A and B are shown apart, each in its own frame.
Chain A
């Protein structure tokens, strides 16, 4: 894979809890980006959202981080990062992206600075793209959830790798949005041919009702959930009356 651009994939989300489907996103995205012939995927980052996000049923970030770490123990290229969850307030996706981009660039500069001989396979400044599912792209349409200049930066400056579930809805979503269409060359659509709808919402529902979730998430995560009695009627009630933080924060900024 000489001469390819090194690429990091960043997935932001609740990970409430992490499931096999989340982990599949990384695998599918890596395969696809390699097939373009242009990129070499060197790392994956799972960045669980902070508690400040205020999403309905969100359990404490320390748990979501612990579960993600357990799930990714066996992965040799995807890691969990807690920077976003450590911030005092909810952080816009683009801010998280900027942070990670600075970090990987600094690492790269440190490595190339130290190296005496000319850089070979690892040469080239690494890029960072946002990894997401099709539902994520739909959220760009939700009024007040995203700032226009942020969408522009996420898609234009960084780029998206979007995994869809076999329908061509993502094509349509790009087509129906001017900003997405303008940057369509920076949006990589990955088809997931296997219908695999392991939504965390369904997993939480099953847990509340005492049904098995084995084989939908790693055993280690299931054990953790049981030991900490994580997903209950009470936990699902959390933030019920609260408005999602982006809807508050961005209104204030726009005033």
Chain B
């Protein structure tokens, strides 16, 4: 009996909720149906002043922070929004179940579209991941171990995480970020420079303008060789061997 009564009350509540929903939705639907025509005719023009101080201020700050992103972390706007906590402190990912997927989304911004619930870096366009703003990078590194936090902890998208890792490495390379230097044992090697591989090797003795290899220059072949070849090609030689011996030889052979 009680269960039936409960079930009945449950159904009544549902019906009441549905009615309320219909009441709320009806005018919206009516408006949509009325304004089914071209949107630009029915829409009222929004009165906008030509230029206010607020517009100028926002334009100045965005372009200023593009070149010097570390200044934003000192500004009042930043302190008001984040206080002394890191930028990822109040961010919560939306996912099914208790255990989050071990990879965050690939990127929050694709072209002009921004996804719902963007990551802590993408949701604030003034925050720029650069190897020079060390204060921001330090927020993403554990202060006890010196290891960068995993993206599942901070909530940043994979594209920003890659930018962060490269920026952290660049900052360490340029000496802006402190890190623990690994200890290397001192090797007591023989640093002598007397071996031929690293010492002086005098070039081989050459006389003046001599070429490096003897065959770079024309060399007179030995007479035996000339005689042998003449013997071989005797039937094809045009001039008589006795009359024009010297000139014909020098003319025929290459210079």
Say if A and B assemble together.
no
Give chain A's interface residues, CB within 8 Å of chain B: none
Give chain B's interface residues, CB within 8 Å of chain A: none
